[in-house]
Structure 1
Amino acid sequence: METMKQFITKKTKNNGIRFGDRLADHTEDGVYMFKENGFWTGGFWTGLNWLCYEMTGEEVFMKSARGGGERLRKRVYEAPGTLDHDAGFLYCLSFVADYKLTGNEEAKRTALAAADLLKSRFNEAGKFIQAWNVWVPGEAFSEENRGRIIIDCMYNLPLLFWATEVTGDESYREVATAHAQTCAGTIIRPDYTTFHTYVFDPVNGEPKYGRTFQGYSDDSCWSRGQTWAMGGFTYAYKYTQNPFFLEMARKCTDVFLAKIGGDDVPFWDFDLPSRLGEPRDTSAAAIAAASMLELAAYVPAADSLRYREKAKSIVDTLFHEYSTRHNPQHEGLLEQACSHKPENSQTNCSLIYGDYYFAEAVARLANCTKAYW
């Protein structure tokens, strides 16, 4: 793990010099591009720096994390309408991390403000958190967003669970638990594969249908979506101790393991008619590894060992076969990540969330992170 830690921290430190307070998103020709307000991905850059701070104790990483976090702080107070259900990704890995590691009370207040915004998206009739905003009023797809959930939100719920822990206000936990229950009965199929999105009637809350946009088809299993379910239900169990959520996490994880087989890095979708020429997704592999390392803490010894061994195998493969360790000019940590293949968008690059989860998995294996979820 030491060699991997050195690779991660050295590259992140060098990137921080160029990035300043900007929030990285994806690479083009090995150079990271930025999103002005952080999009949904900005927290992964701050989170990566907090991981490096834990791994090294060097305050340069704290400075980078807080520098990027300032953009997110302004966003929650000055432009809350730009936020959606991804507040967990943004604020767990910036302000919750800061509070957990340093006791920063201002960071705690900002994270709670973000939790309030996330909780306010709850649809009482349907018992779900609305995922996306109505981007273009009157346009059919945007209007569907009033009743849409997406599988990614399962990994955003820890922000709400954490808010209950630090305030004692059970309403955050109640919303997160209700959303997880709703996901389990809708966006998770009977065979424990996942839709990307699921649409409800926004008025009466009635479930309507599943839709998959970043996967191959509505009936296929988008590999990254499966990993969001793996980690999301694991954290739902961590905070509630509800055995139903643990069972969901295990079932979704075992489906992932069955579909990936002896491989370590999945293709962008598990159900492609042909894999010839199709891209893999290292970000899905990294999320799976980090999620299994958390799940391993809650299952019997034999399963714990199985999950940890597979996570370790994934991390080793990512480092030795997919990392940029021999290319110091490349700003990403992992190559061959795939964001949105159906739109041919960012299909062979580094994605900041893939880099973050790879670093989280390495830090977990090295026993040097408190984790921020």
Structure 2
Amino acid sequence: MGAVSTGYQSIAIDNFAALLQLLTSGEQNLHYYMAQHHTETMLTACRRHNGAFHASAFFDGRGFQPDDQAGTWSRGQSWAMLGLTRAAAVWGEPYLTHAKTACEYWQYSRPDSLPPNRLGQLVSCDDPSAAVIASIAMLSLARLLPEGEYWRAYAHRQISVIIRSQYFIGFQQDTGYSENQKNSSTGVFWGCCYKTGQNEEELVESVWGNFFLMAALAALTGFIEPGHC
């Protein structure tokens, strides 16, 4: 599942988790087979041994060739983490180990809770939405490992920083609500780096940002299971 005219020859990490959740939501064995086969394809084409993931790959007739440098796009890495935790919840190993390794790569490659959109770029906007997706993955991983509390606490710290950052506009009754926000919209999460032009990326409010931030908060408060979002 890639994009545009080469979609039938390419795969992309963006839809990894959603596709697995869709195919494993029923009871048809064929759908489970398709989901696991797709997971294996993603691992073969996009995974590096250190847990970093390429965001996409193109099939050249002999095999898949990555289109980018592994692990540099923050949201791509978080999509991989989320997809692997979905696979681990269904099939266990070796996907559980792969999920943990991908989360560990995130941890040491992005020590700050507000990660850059891409590593290694001198001019790059932050992408807090990537950290939100990564946090959902870590909360899901926490339920599958004996040392789960460690990952839950790590996800909690990431979300706490985001909620207190400039990228989330609080509510008027919140402590610290500033005068210059009095006439602005409230409850807005605008920490999503998105390509708005041919060579331009901006921070915007997005559907995925709002959805996963709400899901992370609901999971942290015990309102939902992290694997259900």
TM-score, length-scaled by structure 2: 0.86
Say which one has the larger Rg: 1
2:12 corresponds to 1:162: no
2: CA distance, partners of 1:355 / 1:330: 14
- Which residue among 137, 141, 160 is the counterpart of 1:295? 141
Size of the alignment, in residue pairs?
216
Tell me the equivalent position of 1:306: 150
Unaligned runs of 5+ in 1: 1-129, 136-141, 213-217
Tell me the equivalent position of 1:67: none
1: CA distance, partners of 2:34 / 2:110: 33
Could you say if the C-alpha distance between residues 313 and 220 of structure 1 is closer, same or farther in structure 2, counting changes exceeding 3 Å? Answer: closer
SS in 2 for 1:306: helix
2:76 corresponds to 1:246: no
Could you say if the C-alpha distance between residues 160 and 347 of structure 1 is closer, same or farther in structure 2, counting changes exceeding 3 Å? Answer: same
Checking the alignment, whether the CA contact within 8 Å between 2:117 and 2:127 is kept in structure 1 is yes
2:138 corresponds to 1:270: no
Deviation per CA, 1:183-238, whole angstroms, max 9, x where unpaired? 1111112322111111114xx6x3131113xxxxx456100000011110101111
SS in 2 for 1:339: strand
Checking the alignment, whether the CA contact within 8 Å between 2:45 and 2:64 is kept in structure 1 is no
RMSD: 2.1
2: CA distance, partners of 1:342 / 1:264: 27
Could you say if the C-alpha distance between residues 320 and 181 of structure 1 is closer, same or farther in structure 2, counting changes exceeding 3 Å? Answer: same
Could you say if the C-alpha distance between residues 170 and 281 of structure 1 is closer, same or farther in structure 2, counting changes exceeding 3 Å? Answer: same
Alignment map for 1:147-226 (pairs within 5 Å): 147-156=9-18, 157-164=20-27, 169-201=28-60, 206-212=62-68, 218=69, 221-226=72-77
Shift in Å, 1:264: 0.5
Could you say if the C-alpha distance between residues 191 and 341 of structure 1 is closer, same or farther in structure 2, counting changes exceeding 3 Å? Answer: farther
Checking the alignment, whether the CA contact within 8 Å between 1:148 and 1:197 is kept in structure 2 is yes
Letter in 1 for 2:13: I
1: CA distance, partners of 2:142 / 2:71: 27
- Which residue among 83, 88, 104 is the counterpart of 1:232? 83
Letter in 2 for 1:315: I
Alignment map for 1:42-191 (pairs within 5 Å): 130-132=1-3, 135=4, 142=5, 144-156=6-18, 157-164=20-27, 169-191=28-50
Checking the alignment, whether the CA contact within 8 Å between 2:52 and 2:70 is kept in structure 1 is no
Shift in Å, 1:305: 2.0
Tell me the equivalent position of 1:352: 207
Higher relative contact order (CA 8 A, sep 6+): 1
Could you say if the C-alpha distance between residues 229 and 311 of structure 1 is closer, same or farther in structure 2, counting changes exceeding 3 Å? Answer: same
Checking the alignment, whether the CA contact within 8 Å between 2:23 and 2:32 is kept in structure 1 is yes
Alignment map for 1:328-343 (pairs within 5 Å): 329-330=184-185, 333-340=188-195, 343=198
Checking the alignment, whether the CA contact within 8 Å between 2:191 and 2:209 is kept in structure 1 is no
Could you say if the C-alpha distance between residues 288 and 266 of structure 1 is closer, same or farther in structure 2, counting changes exceeding 3 Å? Answer: same
2: CA distance, partners of 1:343 / 1:266: 23
Checking the alignment, whether the CA contact within 8 Å between 2:46 and 2:70 is kept in structure 1 is no
Tell me the equivalent position of 2:174: none
Checking the alignment, whether the CA contact within 8 Å between 1:282 and 1:334 is kept in structure 2 is no
2: CA distance, partners of 1:353 / 1:259: 23
Shift in Å, 1:370: 4.3
Over the matched positions of the two proteins, sequence identity in percent amounts to 23
Checking the alignment, whether the CA contact within 8 Å between 1:223 and 1:270 is kept in structure 2 is yes
Unaligned runs of 5+ in 2: 171-176
SS in 2 for 1:338: strand
Tell me the equivalent position of 1:83: none
Could you say if the C-alpha distance between residues 145 and 352 of structure 1 is closer, same or farther in structure 2, counting changes exceeding 3 Å? Answer: same
